[in-house]
Amino acid sequence: MIRRQSHILPTVSVLALLGFGLAGCSTTSNESREPPPPPVVQTLPPSFPPQDLVGSYGLAAYHKDEDRPRTEAAAANQCRQPYVISMGPTGGVMMHLADQATPTELRVKGAPGGKNFIGPAEDPPGGALDREVTSFDGRLLILRFVDPEVHGRYGSMVYVRCTAEGMKKPAVRPRPAAKPAAARPAAAPRPASARPAPAPAAGSLQPPIQRQ
């Protein structure tokens, strides 16, 4: 019996060692398959200062590129209820993040390749909460959410700056027509006795008579 146990114990030990070895190999292979973390994008100065975004905009959104012209026209018609972008207390812009009811101060962040993003200051350009500026010419601003799930729900946001013609104007009351001035009566002619005597002609005055 003792000899049989001596043959069994080494076999069990070998199997245990093999099990640990296989487990270690599987752990190493799983770790090697994990994707490396994405590189941190360097924050650069944006292509435009944040104060260029300040103003009132009509807002609309589209999902298909062929709907962009129609969406721009629809956004311009929303200037009666404009979306206002203002400066933040620390130099950012006050805008809404996705699914938030109150505005937050966001930063305009530049990135390599001439790209620009708007999002939290603590995140690098292109973070999950950022929006990429796909177009901005001072009048038209188009933003695209970086998060694919959020972009699928909201689409590309179109901001059209409201001008004086696009804002709602107060009704102008017509002014009453001006009344014509009353005619003044003609002045009565003066009598001959009240008329001043005509002045003598030049050279007709007689010099004073000198008495000796």
pLDDT of residue 163: 85
Amino acid 146: pLDDT: 97
Can you read off the two tokens belonging to residue 187? 């002045």
pLDDT digits (tens, 9 = 90+) for 30-62: 555 666 656 667 889 999 999 999 999 999 999
- Residue with the bigger pLDDT between 16 and 123: it is 123
Contact 143, 162 (CB under 8 A): no
Give how far the C-alpha of residue 94 lies from the chain's centroid of Cα atoms, to the nearest Å: 9
Instruction: Please give the Cα distance from 196 to 190 (Å, whole number).
Output: 10
Write the single-letter amino acid at 45.
Answer: P
- Spans of all domains in the chain: 7-36, 50-161
Which residues on adjacent β-strands are paired with residue 143?
133, 157
> What would the two tokens of residue 146 be?
């970086």
- Of residues 168 and 132, the one with the higher pLDDT is 132
